[in-house]
């Protein structure tokens, strides 16, 4: 069965090369049939990647352990719902997944843009770029390591899936991250197409924006789901550890966030054309870098890089992409010379510029901290670690400044403004934030960092609420609709604006959750015999029992603890899987409320004595549920932004303009 | 990922925990151990501190910190002992000198550079561009007026 997969991957490589070549030559020679042929070949690549992926899935279902990849990542005991995690758990499968999903994305783009139009001139180049990317993945899968590699004999059973991966979060966060990386290829392809054709007006940006938003949403969710998984499974009491793998997933999202903001300046004012192209190139490089880091382990040490087979390929490929696209960019730079004109630094444009500087600064700080151990080792042969304190100290002030800006920018109009107007705009949110500060002081909070942090989040959130209230009341006033209807039609008609505000509100929520859980986490450890009690924060935990029972694919060790002496029991577990006796999977017991999470980890146990002893690490994590609530709101807001705009129609404008309308001009 | 490494060496932790009296003093000791452990990078993990890691080595190191604290050693002395044993790479906070300084300086430098560029660009773009071609300028002014008017209308409509 593996042979079919082999053939499909060789075919995908050949067809991708053909599609790229035919598209480029067709575009140069203005040869319509050749361009059409390239397009069809690109769709053929989708078919072949899909065939290869289904072959691998079928091999997993059939327990075909003659394939090394299936042998390494699955076993007969593996439940069927772990099929997809097994598929992308190893390097080869995840690269296949990456290429497969990109080929599907490519097909979607080609189908959406099948009718001739303003985009037609870009399409051959878009196809060529996407085929170069998919072709590279096919090359890796053919040359470096095929998921269809055969073992010399067929073992009776497989090694099994890594126990860490047995979790609900595993079914969704790795594919989201891989797709988040992959999806930035599409806006990148449009940017390169715009550079190649020299048509650098707003058309490419309009097309790019749509796909960039999809990539941005997927990658953002991937990051959130990843931290949700880490929080529930890794059992160290936190959700974000500034691990290299986390950092490289955050970086393209941050650079992409800069892009989706600055493109609005080009849409509105025609400024920043070159800058927007540069930003999307950067975001794509960071996505490839992320895929590469996740799949090569380079950042553990320079030496593991030498051992990693795909390391040199990825580095060479990244170099080729950067060199090629930067050369194109420099060649077209004269056409990107822009009429930049700023009426006032205190304007929405000015705020977006500052936003970009801050986003790039924080992206760079994270990049630098992530790669610096390698830099230091290469420069001075000295090993140093760059850990959590660095990232917290450098990134927190920058994120704080961004949150503050997020509260300010929506209140500042485009072009220029008057002082009186600004005062009127800022009074409600600033007043709310100050009231909140006073309330926190009265409640007895004295630590400066959370005080400032909460105040900023409150201000940013209040700005969104105030904007919503203004919009809804103005619309209700102008149209006579009731408030609910006014809200609905306001969002429907200005989905980009109010969807964006919803995302802002989500970020403010997440920010408050992070501030609260970082500043006020309480932690305690104890070793308890049944009947003994430990204290963590306001909770007392009484050990009850320790038991071991068989569970799916292995056995489970479970401790039982009573919270506050009441009937409520918490059951932290460790799960052992077949073939992984030395490695167990933590099942943290979490009792989550709006206010705080009680988080209990079974860290060790000892059954040698007459009574069992359990070692417990217990945490009280305030406001963590706010982060996940923010994640949900982030999804809602992003979907609202992406929702297709209503068809333009003739609208009747009533004589009475909404209040405050003319002041902003 | 390597966050869950084999549970080895837990016995030491168990002993240390059992030896410590469960009192207010222990809560203070717990916090002190954690404060020090947070500043030490787990040598066998990727991106985890000794406080967070469940690896055997990290558990041993926490037990060592605890016993040294109980012997009355200061935080400084304990940190120095770990640096002597494992080298500076054991510090999760890179030292702000020598090669470690580079990681701190570059982001600050980039931020200052970015703000500087922003400042210069804002000044340059704010200046009204003197035009050598009056007719073109006249056209543009007219266009600008239209744009302004359109903008005003949009602002009014959307607000």
Q: For A279-322, what is each residue's pLDDT tens digit?
A: 999 999 999 998 888 776 556 544 444 446 777 888 889 999 99
d(CA A530, CA B32): 27
CATH number for the domain harbouring residue A617: 2.60.98
Contact criterion met (CB below 8 Å) for A664 and B157: no
How far B4 CA lies from chain A's nearest CA (Å)?
7
Task: Label residue B11 by pLDDT band (50, 70, 90).
Answer: very low
A317: helix, strand or coil: helix
Residue A105: partners with Cβ closer than 8 Å, 6 or more residues away? A182, A183, A185, A186
Per-residue model confidence (pLDDT) at position B97: 77
**Phi, psi at residue A468, to the nearest 5°?**
-65, -45
Please report whether residue A494 resides in a domain.
yes
pLDDT score of A459 more than 90: yes
Residues A311, A256 share a domain = yes
Kindly report the nearest CA distance between residue B3 and chain A, in angstroms. Answer: 7
The answer as to whether B126 is a domain residue is no
Domain that holds residue A260: 175-337
Q: Which residues in chain A have Cβ-Cβ distances shorter than 8 Å to B110? A: 360-361, 364-365
Last residue of a domain, one of B90, B121, B150: B90
Q: Do A353 and B89 touch (CB under 8 A)?
A: no
Q: A151 and A87 in one domain?
A: yes
Bridge pairing between strands A573-577 and A569-570 = unpaired
Same domain, A509 and A542: no
Cα separation, A249 vs A577, in Å, equals 29
* Closest residue to B155, CB basis, from A245, A344, A664: A664
With CA atoms as reference, the chain A residue closest to B29 would be: A524
A359 domain-assigned: no
Question: CA angle, corner A289, sides to A283 and A291, nearest 5?
Answer: 105
- Is residue B115 included in any domain, yes or no? no
Mean pLDDT value across residues A331-339? 80
Assess whether A17 and A152 both reside in one domain. Answer: yes
Pairing assessment for the beta strands A613-622 and A596-606 based on DSSP bridges = antiparallel
Q: Does residue B26 fall inside a structural domain?
A: yes
Residue A81 forms part of a structural domain: yes
Q: Which residues contact A265 (CB under 8 A, 6 or more apart)?
A: A271, A272, A349, A352, A353
Nearest CA in chain B to A614: B14
Angle (CA) A78-A81-A87 rounded to 5° is: 75
**Would an 8 Å CB–CB cutoff place A631 in contact with chain B?**
no
pLDDT digits (tens, 9 = 90+) for B15-38: 333 333 333 345 577 778 888 888
Are residue A128 and residue A274 in the same domain, yes or no?
Answer: no
Rounded CA-CA distance A434/B74 in Å is 41
**How many structural domains compose chain B?**
2
Q: Which of A137, A166, A195 is the last residue of a domain?
A: A166
State the number of CA atoms in the 13 A half-sphere of A600 facing the CB.
Answer: 30
Q: Are residues B140 and B74 in the same domain?
A: no
Q: Do residues A540 and A513 share a domain?
A: no
A453 and A501, same domain (yes or no): yes
- How many structural domains does chain A have? 4
If you average pLDDT over residues A608-616, what whole number do you get? 88
User: Does residue A538 belong to any structural domain of this protein?
Assistant: yes
Average pLDDT taken over every residue of chain A: 88
Taking only the tens place, the pLDDT of each residue in B142-152 is 667 777 777 77
Give pLDDT, residue A296. Answer: 67
A150 lies in some domain: yes
Name the helix (H) or strand (E) containing A127: helix A123-139
Q: What radius of gyration do chain A's Cα atoms show? A: 27
- My answer on whether A509 and A531 are in the same domain is no
Asked whether residue B147 falls in the same domain as residue B81, the answer is no
Task: Answer yes or no: is B18 within a domain.
Answer: yes
The domain in which residue B151 lies consists of 131-159
Residues A86-114: pLDDT tens digits? 898 888 898 999 999 999 999 999 999 98
Q: Which of A489, A520, A551 is the last residue of a domain?
A: A520
Domain boundary among the residues A280, A303, A337 is at: A337
Q: Is residue A131 part of a domain?
A: yes
d(CA B128, CA A387): 48
Return the biggest CA–CA distance within chain A. Answer: 87
Residue A44 tokens, joined: 């053929």
- With pLDDT > 90 as the criterion, what percentage of chain A qualifies? 55
Same domain, B74 and B141: no
CB A1 within 8 A of CB A58: yes
ipTM of this complex: 0.82
pLDDT > 60? residue B131: no
Q: What is the pLDDT of residue B7?
A: 37
Residue with tokens 């072959």: A55
Least confident of A425-434, A572-581, B77-86, B126-135: B126-135
Q: What is the pLDDT of residues A498-547, one digit of tens each?
A: 999 999 999 999 999 999 999 999 988 888 999 999 999 889 999 999 99
Is A541 found in the same domain as A496? no
Q: Tell me the H-state helices in B100-133.
A: 101-126
Q: What is the pLDDT of residues A556-609, one digit of tens each?
A: 999 999 998 777 899 999 888 776 666 778 889 999 999 999 999 998 888 888
Within a domain: A373: no
**Please, which pLDDT band fits residue A647 given cuts at 50, 70 and 90?**
low
Per the CB < 8 A criterion, the answer to whether A147 and A5 are in contact is yes
* A contacts of B46 (beta carbons < 8 Å): 243-245, 299-300
Yes or no, beta carbons of A657 and B156 under 8 Å apart: yes
Q: Does an H or E element contain A315, and which?
A: helix A310-332
Q: Can you tell me the distance from the alpha carbon of A283 to that of A295, in angstroms, rounded to the nearest whole number?
A: 18
For residues A625 and A593, is the Cβ–Cβ distance under 8 A? yes
A19 and A149 co-located in one domain: yes
With beta carbons under 8 A apart, name residues in chain B contacting A394.
Answer: 104, 107
pLDDT of residue A600: 95
Candidates B1, B10, B159; nearest CB to A660:
B159
Instruction: Please give the angle made by the CA atoms of A577, A580 and A582, to the nearest 5 degrees.
Output: 115
Residues A14 and A117 in one domain: yes
- Rounded to the nearest angstrom, the gap between the alpha carbon of residue A529 and the centroid of all alpha carbons in its chain is 43
Give the Cα separation of A197 and A195 in Å (integer): 6
* CATH number assigned to the domain comprising residue B45: 1.10.8.640
Confidence of residue A629 (pLDDT cuts 50, 70, 90): very high
* Contact assessment for residue A477 and residue A658, using Cβ atoms and an 8 Å cutoff: yes
Q: Is residue B61 part of a domain?
A: yes
Phi, psi of A527 (to 5 degrees): -110, 125
| pLDDT > 70? residue A73 | yes
In a domain, A645, yes or no: no
Sign of CA pseudo-dihedral A128, A134, A136, A138: negative
Residues in B closer than 8 angstroms to A353, CB to CB, are 118, 121-122
**Nearest chain A Cα to B111, which residue?**
A361
User: Would the CB atoms of A471 and B159 count as touching at under 8 Å?
Assistant: yes
Write the burial class of residue A530 (CB in 10 Å: 0-12 exposed, 13-18 middle, 19+ buried). middle
Terminal CA-CA length for chain A: 68
Residue A349 contacts residue B151 (beta carbons within 8 Å): no
Q: With an 8 Å Cβ cutoff, is A375 touching chain B?
A: yes
In-domain check, residue B102: no
pLDDT band at B13 (very low <50, low <70, confident <90, very high): very low
Fill in the DSSP letter of residue A122: T
Whether residue A150 sits in one domain with residue A22: yes
- Report the alpha-carbon distance of residue A298 to residue A292 in Å, rounded: 8
Residues A612, A529: contact at Cβ < 8 Å? yes
How far, rounded to the nearest angstrom, does the alpha carbon of residue A245 sit from its chain's CA centroid?
12
């Amino acid at each position: 069965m593996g042979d079919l997969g082999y053939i499909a991957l060789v075919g995908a490589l050949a067809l991708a090369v053909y599609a790229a070549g035919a598209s480029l030559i067709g575009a140069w020679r203005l040869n319509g049939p050749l361009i059409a042929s390239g397009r069809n070949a690109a769709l053929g690549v989708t078919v072949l990647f899909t065939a290869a992926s289904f072959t691998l899935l079928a091999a997993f279902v059939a327990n075909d352990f003659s394939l090394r990849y299936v042998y390494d990542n699955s076993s007969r005991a593996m439940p069927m719902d772990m099929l997809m995690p097994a598929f992308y758990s190893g390097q080869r499968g995840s690269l296949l997944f990456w290429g497969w999903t990109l080929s599907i994305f490519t097909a979607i783009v080609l189908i959406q843009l099948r009718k001739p139009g303003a985009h037609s001139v870009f399409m051959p180049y878009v196809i060529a770029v996407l085929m170069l990317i998919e072709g590279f993945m096919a090359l890796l899968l053919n040359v470096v390591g095929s998921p269809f590699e055969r073992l010399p004999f067929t073992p009776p059973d497989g090694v099994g899936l890594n126990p860490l991966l047995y979790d609900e979060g595993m079914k969704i966060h790795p594919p989201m991250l891989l797709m988040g990386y992959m999806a930035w290829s599409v806006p990148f392809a449009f940017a390169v197409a715009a550079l190649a054709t020299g048509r650098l007006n707003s058309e490419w940006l309009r097309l790019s924006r749509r796909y960039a938003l999809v990539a941005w949403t997927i990658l953002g969710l991937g990051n959130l789901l990843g931290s949700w998984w880490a929080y529930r499974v890794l059992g160290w009491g936190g959700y974000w550890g500034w691990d290299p793998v986390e950092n490289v997933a955050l970086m393209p999202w941050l650079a992409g966030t800069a892009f989706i903001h600055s493109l609005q300046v080009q849409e509105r004012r025609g400024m920043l054309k070159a800058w927007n192209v540069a930003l999307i190139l950067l975001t794509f490089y960071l996505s490839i870098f992320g895929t590469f880091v996740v799949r090569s382990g380079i950042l553990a040490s320079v030496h593991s890089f030498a051992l990693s087979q795909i390391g040199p390929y990825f580095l060479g490929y990244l170099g080729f992409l950067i060199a090629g696209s930067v050369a194109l960019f420099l060649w077209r730079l004269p056409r990107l010379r822009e009429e930049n004109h700023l009426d006032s630094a205190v304007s929405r444009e000015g705020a977006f510029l500052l936003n970009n500087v801050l986003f790039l600064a924080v992206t760079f700080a994270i990049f630098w901290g992530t790669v610096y151990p390698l830099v230091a080792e290469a420069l001075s042969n000295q090993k140093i670690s760059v850990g959590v304190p660095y990232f917290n100290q450098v990134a927190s002030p920058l994120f704080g400044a961004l949150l503050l800006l997020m509260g300010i920018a929506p209140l500042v109009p485009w072009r220029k403004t008057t002082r009186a107007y600004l005062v009127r705009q800022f009074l409600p949110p600033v007043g709310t934030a100050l009231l909140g500060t006073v309330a926190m002081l009265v409640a007895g909070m004295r630590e400066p960092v959370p005080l400032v942090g909460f105040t900023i989040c409150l201000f940013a959130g209040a700005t969104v609420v105030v904007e919503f209230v203004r919009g809804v009341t103005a619309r209700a006033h102008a149209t006579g609709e009731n408030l609910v209807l006014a809200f609905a039609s306001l969002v429907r008609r200005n989905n980009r604006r109010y969807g964006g505000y919803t995302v802002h509100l989500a970020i403010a929520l997440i920010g408050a959750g992070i501030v609260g859980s970082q500043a006020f986490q309480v932690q305690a450890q104890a070793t308890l015999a049944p009947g003994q009690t430990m204290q963590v924060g306001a909770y007392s935990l009484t050990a009850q029992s320790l038991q071991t029972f068989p569970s799916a694919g292995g056995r489970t060790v479970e401790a039982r603890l009573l919270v506050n002496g009441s009937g409520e029991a918490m059951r932290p577990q460790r799960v052992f899987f077949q073939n992984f006796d030395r490695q167990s999977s933590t099942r943290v017991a979490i009792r989550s409320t709006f206010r705080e999470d009680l988080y209990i980890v079974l860290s060790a146990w000892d059954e040698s004595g007459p009574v069992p002893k359990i070692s417990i690490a217990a945490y009280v994590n305030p406001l963590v549920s706010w982060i996940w609530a923010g994640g949900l709101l982030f999804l809602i807001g992003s979907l609202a932004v992406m929702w297709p705009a209503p068809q333009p129609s003739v609208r009747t404008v009533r004589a009475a303009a909404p209040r405050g309308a003319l002041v902003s001009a | 990922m390597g966050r869950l490494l084999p549970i080895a060496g837990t016995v030491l932790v168990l002993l240390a925990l059992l030896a410590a009296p469960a009192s207010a003093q222990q809560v203070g000791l717990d916090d002190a151990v954690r404060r020090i452990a947070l500043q030490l990078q787990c040598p066998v993990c990727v991106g985890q501190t000794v406080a967070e890691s469940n690896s055997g080595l990290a558990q041993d190191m926490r037990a060592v910190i605890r016993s040294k604290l109980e012997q009355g050693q200061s935080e400084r002395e304990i940190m120095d002992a770990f640096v002597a044993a494992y080298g500076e790479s054991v510090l999760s906070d890179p030292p702000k000198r020598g090669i470690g300084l580079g990681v701190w300086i570059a982001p600050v430098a980039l931020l200052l550079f970015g703000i500087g560029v922003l400042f210069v660009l804002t000044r340059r773009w704010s200046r009204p561009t003197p035009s050598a071609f009056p007719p073109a300028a006249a056209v543009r002014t007219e266009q600008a007026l239209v744009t302004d008017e359109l903008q005003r209308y949009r602002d009014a409509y959307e607000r």
